């Protein structure tokens, strides 16, 4: 497939780029900072641009088969980049007829909030991660109300562990006892697999060990 990845130089995005290439996809990495990509590849195209620029987003999406969104920002940032960027992505996809979207969110966003342990519900998310999850919530609303074939991935705490391909996903990811972690590589593993798997079409599965 021809896949464009937004947030391609972020923590998850770099792993998505690498794994998508390893699985034979033609990848366009959209980024403001091409120098942050740590490798080159014959099937990798780098599109320098800003996700807040609608023209840049539309140019990167034209001719693609699918879009992966792994946008991220620092914890205390209040700019709402995920929401604003995702709005541009959805608008361009709907305009150009590109249907498949796999979008990164977080476990605790939306209707998964009540599944978290008490200290996450009453301290970690409201205090430490409040800006992140406010952004994810509005981002998820945009995706859910789009006309796209979307899947939202909600990983637990991201770690630098190994690529195992063995993890819980869907409702089983939030069963008790909950292990609130999953490696960056395994999140990427799940997201790339969704490009050719409709099991979670129009769903927001959790991911954890």
* Residue of 200, 202, 195 lying closest to 2 (CA atoms): 195
How far is 183 from 180, CA to CA, in rounded Å?
A: 11
The Cα 119–Cα 125 span in angstroms is: 9
Q: What pLDDT is stored for residue 176 in this prediction?
A: 53
Q: Which domains does the chain have, with CATH numbers?
A: 2-208 (3.40.50.720)
Q: What is the pLDDT of residue 124?
A: 67
Encoded tokens for 171: 């409702």
User: Counting every residue, how long is the chain?
Assistant: 209
CA 118-160-195 angle, 5° bins: 90
Residue 116: the pLDDT is 74
The interaxial angle of helices 11-22 and 184-193, nearest 10 deg, is 50
What averages of pLDDT result for each successive group of 10 residues across the chain (209 residues)?
A: 97 97 98 91 97 97 98 73 96 98 90 70 65 87 97 94 93 64 97 96 93
């Amino acid at each position: 497939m021809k896949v464009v990845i937004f947030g391609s130089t972020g923590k998850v995005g770099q792993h998505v780029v690498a794994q998508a290439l390893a699985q034979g996809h033609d990848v366009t990495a959209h980024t403001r900072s091409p120098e942050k990509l740590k490798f080159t590849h014959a099937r990798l195209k780098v599109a320098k641009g800003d996700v807040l620029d609608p023209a840049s987003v539309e140019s990167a999406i034209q001719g693609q088969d699918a879009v992966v969104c792994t946008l991220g920002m620092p914890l205390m940032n209040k700019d709402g980049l995920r929401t604003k960027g995702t709005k541009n992505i959805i608008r361009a996809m709907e305009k150009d007829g590109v249907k498949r979207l796999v979008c990164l969110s977080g476990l605790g966003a939306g209707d998964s909030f009540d599944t978290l342990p008490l200290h996450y519900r009453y301290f970690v998310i409201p205090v430490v991660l409040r800006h992140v999850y406010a952004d994810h919530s509005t981002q998820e609303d945009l995706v859910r109300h789009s006309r796209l074939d979307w899947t939202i991935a909600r990983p637990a705490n991201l770690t630098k562990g190994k690529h195992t391909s063995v993890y819980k996903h869907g409702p089983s990811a939030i069963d008790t006892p909950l292990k609130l972690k999953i490696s960056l590589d395994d999140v990427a593993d799940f997201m790339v697999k969704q490009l050719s798997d409709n099991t979670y079409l129009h769903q927001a599965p959790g991911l954890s060990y």
